[in-house]
Amino acid sequence: MELEDGSHRYHVVSEADEECWRKIWDTYDVHDDPGISLCDLRQRLLSRRDAESLPDEVVTKLLTVADTNHDGNISFSEFVNLCEKTKRSPRYRHLLRRGAFIVIPRSGRDAETRKYLDEYSCCPPPLFMISITLIEVGVFIFYAVDMDQPMGANHPAPIYSPLTYNPYRRYEAWRYLTYAFIHSGYMHLVNNLVVQVVLGVLLEMVHSWWRVMLVYLSGVAAGSLATSVTTPSTYLAGASGGVYAIEYAYIGNLILNWSEISHPWVQVIILVVLMSFDVGFAIWDTYFAAQASTTGHMAHLGGALAGILVGVNVLRNLKREPWERYCWWIAFVIFVILMGSGIILNIVLPVPEFYPDSDFSAMSNAREDFFKRYPNE
């Protein structure tokens, strides 16, 4: 509670709150001293698992501004004041930090990182994931209007768009990336955007925008190359390759930081469940569904592999172990071989008539053919 006396405001700590903070204090004041050395406290907080019982805000302040009298120690009264100030921060910040600490290793929870997360207010937002999401929404709206068709959950797709991956125009190399901006129906769009925003923003908060961008774009490129090589006559639209790369990049994060990530086995179980569902659905949709599959499962597989391999290479590894250097090189070599093979096979595959003949006609012809097939209502 707060009391006001003229121009001064005082915060009064209740007995129940003080008792609560005392219990936490006693956990760390093992020598029953009048104060705890900030140097010792910093080492304890950053190295011991039991330190996670403290709120993240308190850890931030303890490591930066707790020592108000600058004597190199923190007293119980200083500790209580900090706890009371920080426990009233907005609820969404708690959720944001908790989500970020799922993917950040313990050794990376230094004062700078904690201070960033403590003050993080989504202004500015995670640059890449928010930007790519807005672009995909804008492109979807544009073509929904341009097609002038009733937009269903999973169709139609504007296959006439210069952004769509078109197997008859493989020489237009930009299509191997820009197909991610096109979606077939609102459910296709929503499913991809929800996953990439939730998982991508958390990764970007911890690993920075350019690392997440490399993971995402590598997944998009790997998805189109894999589809082109395995099903050469298939059109491709949707950000699933990039989304799967973001999702499976968490495996790369686990590989590099296993001993330091909170509850790694929980994350493994979640990833195994997701992978099992993905594989099971792909098998059912390909071989047992009543209608022929229109889902680009090879794009999903390519994106997932790229996410794991590129994740190992570019995501932050804040505590390097000797064996991780070998892991880094193995992932790098495998990725280069797979991507290089995909590119070469798309250019000079020595199999006659494997790919459809290239279409060099004007793009306007494709648009006219689309509207003949789907006349405006």
Residue 107, domain member (yes or no): no
* Residue 316, pLDDT score: 74
Residue type, position 152, single letter: G
The answer to whether residue 219 is domain-embedded is yes
Whether residue 6 is contained in a domain is answered as: no
* CATH number of the structural domain spanning residue 289: 1.20.1540.10
Q: What is the CATH number of the domain that holds 54?
A: 1.10.238.10
Specify if 98 maps to a domain: no
Alpha carbon distance 43, 64 (integer Å): 14
The verdict on residue 193 lying in a domain is: yes
Q: Is residue 349 part of a domain?
A: yes
Residue 335 is predicted with a pLDDT of: 96
Tell me the pLDDT tens digit for each residue of 83-93: 666 555 554 45
Q: What is the pLDDT of residue 224?
A: 95
pLDDT for 328 equals 87
Cα(291)–Cα(285) distance, integer angstroms: 8
Spell out the SS3 assignment of the chain: CEEEECCEEEECCCHHHHHHHHHHHHHHCCCCCCEEEHHHHHHHHHHCHHHHHCCHHHHHHHHHCCCCCCCCEEEHHHHHHHHHHHCCCCHHHHHHHHHHHHHCCHHHCCHHHHHHHHHCCCCCCCHHHHHHHHHHHHHHHHHHHHHCCCCCCCCCCCCCCCCCECHHHCCCCCHHHHHHHCCCCHHHHHHHHHHHHHHHHHHHHHHCHHHHHHHHHHHHHHHHHHHHHHCCCCCECCCHHHHHHHHHHHHHHHHHHCCCCCCHHHHHHHHHHHHHHHHHHHHHHHHCCCCCCCCCHHHHHHHHHHHHHHHHHHCCCCCCCHHHHHHHHHHHHHHHHHHHHHHHHHHHCCCCCCCCCCCCCCHHHHHHHHHHHCCCC
Q: How far is CA 56 from the centre of its chain?
A: 22
Residues taking part in catalysis: 240, 300
Residue 110 falls within a domain, yes or no? no
Q: In the chain, which stretches have pLDDT less than 70?
A: 1-18, 20-21, 23-25, 27-34, 40-67, 82-125, 257-263, 286, 289-294, 318-320, 374-377
d(CA 377, CA 372): 12
144 and 80 within one domain: no
Domain with 79 in it: 15-93
Radius of gyration of the chain (CA): 26
pLDDT digits (tens, 9 = 90+) for 293-345: 667 788 999 999 999 999 888 887 756 677 778 888 999 999 999 999 999 99
Both 140 and 81 in one domain: the answer is no
pLDDT of residue 3: 38
Among 93, 116, 142, give the residue marking a domain's end: 93
Same domain for 153 and 226, yes or no, is: yes
- Number of domains within the chain: 2
**Same structural domain, 180 and 310:** yes
**Which residue, 234, 226, 231, is CA-closest to 306?**
226
53 with 154, same domain: the answer is no
My answer on whether 172 and 264 are in the same domain is yes
pLDDT at 49: 53
- Structure pTM? 0.69
Residue 69 forms part of a structural domain: yes
Rounded distance, CA 135 to CA 329, Å? Answer: 34
Q: In terms of domains, do 64 and 145 share one?
A: no
